[in-house]
């Protein structure tokens, strides 16, 4: 059997590895558009900061590791078209010549590409001018070349999402003065404004000049660097003189190959797949950031995440061999470190839950991360969203210090969400405790108890009275 996977990142490699794991006799070829298969794009900010000391360390597995599994890699090879009826993939080789690869099953993991916002001058400037988008290893090398060549003192980042925040930290650690511009009311807009404000405080504490409710409208090259023009929502004109501009305002699914082959699209233009990762095209599967996300609370949406891509790729790899597994669905669990602060979320925020048909109510609590009598206790801001009518947990957002086990605690909420627990049911979880690390009631349980007191205590009292 001949299995071909397109894409050398999370989904494509996960699919190939799963296929070889299940059946070592399968002929697996992975077509990779660049020379960097299975590199951690999520680790790029930490290479820029210097915390990851060499770019090769970003490889989940080396070229040799992958080939040792029996996978054939075709690097610097561009997939140009899919002939669905003939089960043939047309590619462009590194030397520019064309080629055709025949397949029995095809898995497409073309991922996503950076969004280019409508900023005047952006299309006429590039890396040579010190203007960068950041998404691939090629983008990374271009940025490090600019950093070495320009030796910038001042940088401006357009966007304050996950990558934008990580890059603000990374550039600051290199001694660069950073200005961060976000068009929405607060940084890290995937959490509520009140929690995003805590992240903003952390940025400001470390010297980042933050401008929210502000849109960058124009970038121009000058004799001394770059002139950036912006405007706030109250129409205040703004301008900055910088040496480097980094644009990181999100991604869009890279679907051209599949759409030209006849695949249908859904939310955000992502390719529609079912829970088996089937595209509806014969013998063609797809996974990762190019396809829709099956969300356990929202249904079909688009939420590109590395964790999701790995799982979807594994499902596609197994089903391409004749399996019948299904992707269990995402909850949008995310976490980010910003200097000495960690922010995380899982599930739905209140407005998202309303759109999904729930009756959400929320409570924010600030329990300590461990017993106060043990030195170093710090508060965690935890916002719980639950359904008022059923008590079902719908989502959680957490902000706390680097040592407060935020990622562990958001994973506790994610597990509860996966199993459709109620908010009050989390009180019954048998969680670990020792004074340096927690409390007899863990912080997640103190937060859920606060939600119950605010939104369900009267109902619980009424139930108890009726039983007496």
pLDDT tens, 169-201?
Answer: 999 999 999 999 999 999 999 999 999 999 999
Asked whether residue 276 falls in the same domain as residue 354, the answer is no
Kindly state the percentage of the chain with pLDDT values over 70. 97
CATH assignment at residue 61: 3.50.50.60
Residue 18 lies in a domain: yes
Residue 160 lies in a domain: yes
Global pTM reads: 0.93
Residues in contact with 214: Cβ distance below 8 Å, sequence separation at least 6, in sequence order: 181, 182, 183, 230, 231, 232, 233, 238
Asked whether residue 103 falls in the same domain as residue 172, the answer is no
- Given 266, 284, 319, the domain boundary residue is 319
CATH assignment at residue 358: 3.30.390.30
- Given 287, 319, 351, the domain boundary residue is 319
Residues in contact with 242: Cβ distance below 8 Å, sequence separation at least 6, in sequence order: 152, 154, 155, 156, 179, 225, 226, 228
Q: Count CB neighbours of 303 within 10 A.
A: 19
Asked whether residue 146 falls in the same domain as residue 69, the answer is no
Binned at pLDDT 50, 70 and 90, residue 458 comes out as low
Q: How far apart are CA 275 and CA 279, in angstroms?
A: 10
Asked whether residue 243 falls in the same domain as residue 277, the answer is no
Asked whether residue 235 falls in the same domain as residue 302, the answer is no
Q: Please compute the mean of the pLDDT values over residues 293-298 and round it to a whole number.
A: 97
Q: What is the pLDDT of residue 308?
A: 97
Asked whether residue 136 falls in the same domain as residue 223, the answer is yes
Q: How far apart are CA 343 and CA 191, in angstroms?
A: 8
What is the domain range of residue 296? 2-41+57-112+251-319
Asked whether residue 454 falls in the same domain as residue 369, the answer is yes
Asked whether residue 363 falls in the same domain as residue 446, the answer is yes
Q: How far apart are CA 257 and CA 255, in angstroms?
A: 6
Asked whether residue 289 falls in the same domain as residue 382, the answer is no
Binned at pLDDT 50, 70 and 90, residue 465 comes out as low
Residue 30 lies in a domain: yes
Q: How far apart are CA 42 and CA 20, in angstroms?
A: 25
Asked whether residue 272 falls in the same domain as residue 389, the answer is no
pLDDT tens, 409-428?
Answer: 999 999 999 999 999 999 99
Residue 334 lies in a domain: no
- Give yes or no for residue 216 having a pLDDT over 80: yes
Residue 183 lies in a domain: yes
Residues 347 and 416 sit within 8 Å (Cβ to Cβ):
no
Residue 51 lies in a domain: no
Asked whether residue 130 falls in the same domain as residue 197, the answer is yes
- Long-range contact pairs involving 196-202 (C-beta distance under 8 Å, separation at least 24): 198/341, 198/343, 198/381, 198/399, 199/165, 199/338, 199/341, 199/343, 199/399, 202/338, 202/339, 202/340, 202/341
Residue 437 lies in a domain: yes
Residue 181 lies in a domain: yes
In the chain, the number of structural domains is: 3
- Give yes or no for residue 466 having a pLDDT over 80: no
Residues in contact with 165: Cβ distance below 8 Å, sequence separation at least 6, in sequence order: 180, 187, 188, 199, 203, 336, 338
């Amino acid at each position: 059997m001949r299995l071909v996977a397109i894409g050398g990142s999370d989904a494509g490699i996960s699919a190939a590895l799963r296929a070889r794991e299940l059946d070592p006799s399968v002929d697996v070829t992975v077509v990779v558009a660049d020379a960097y298969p299975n590199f951690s794009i999520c680790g790029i900010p930490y290479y820029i900061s210097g915390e990851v000391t060499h770019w090769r360390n970003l490889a989940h597995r080396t070229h040799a590791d992958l080939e040792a599994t029996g996978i054939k890699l075709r690097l610097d090879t561009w997939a140009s078209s899919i002939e669905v009826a003939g089960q043939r993939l047309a590619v462009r080789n590194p030397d520019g010549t064309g080629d055709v690869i025949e397949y029995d099953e095809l898995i497409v993991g073309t991922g996503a590409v950076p969004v280019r916002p409508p900023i005047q001058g952006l299309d006429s400037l590039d890396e040579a001018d010190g203007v960068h988008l950041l998404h691939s290893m090629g983008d990374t090398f271009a940025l490090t070349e600019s950093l070495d060549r320009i030796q910038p003192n001042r940088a401006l980042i357009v966007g304050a999402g996950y990558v934008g925040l990580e890059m603000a930290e990374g550039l600051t650690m290199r001694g660069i003065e950073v200005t961060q511009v976000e068009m929405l009311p607060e940084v890290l807009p995937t959490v509520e404004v009140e929690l995003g404000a805590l992240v903003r405080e952390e940025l400001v504490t470390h010297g980042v000049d933050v401008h929210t409710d502000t849109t960058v409208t124009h970038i121009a090259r000058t004799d001394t660097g770059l002139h950036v023009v912006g405007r706030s929502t109250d129409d205040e004109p703004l301008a900055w003189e910088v040496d480097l501009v980094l644009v990181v305002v999100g991604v869009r699914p890279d679907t051209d190959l599949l759409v030209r082959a006849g695949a249908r699209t859904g939310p955000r233009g992502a390719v529609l797949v079912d829970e088996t990762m089937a595209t509806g095209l014969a013998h063609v599967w797809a996974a990762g950031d190019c396809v829709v996300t099956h969300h356990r609370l929202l249904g079909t949406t688009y939420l590109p995440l590395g964790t999701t891509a790995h799982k979807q790729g594994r499902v596609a790899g197994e089903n391409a061999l004749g399996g019948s597994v299904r992707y269990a669905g995402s909850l949008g669990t995310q976490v980010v470190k910003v200097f000495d602060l960690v922010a995380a979320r899982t599930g739905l925020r209140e407005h998202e839950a309303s759109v999904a048909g729930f009756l959400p109510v929320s409570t924010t609590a600030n329990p300590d991360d461990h017993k106060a009598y043990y030195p170093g206790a710090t508060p965690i801001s935890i916002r719980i969203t639950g359904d008022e009518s059923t008590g079902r947990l719908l989502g959680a957002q957490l902000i706390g210090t680097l040592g407060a086990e935020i990622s562990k605690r958001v994973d506790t909420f994610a597990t509860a969400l996966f199993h459709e627990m109620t908010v009050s049911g989390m009180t019954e979880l048998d969680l670990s405790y020792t004074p340096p690390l927690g409390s007899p009631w863990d912080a997640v349980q103190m937060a859920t108890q606060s939600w119950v007191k605010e939104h369900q205590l009267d109902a619980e009292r009424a139930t108890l009275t009726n039983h007496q």
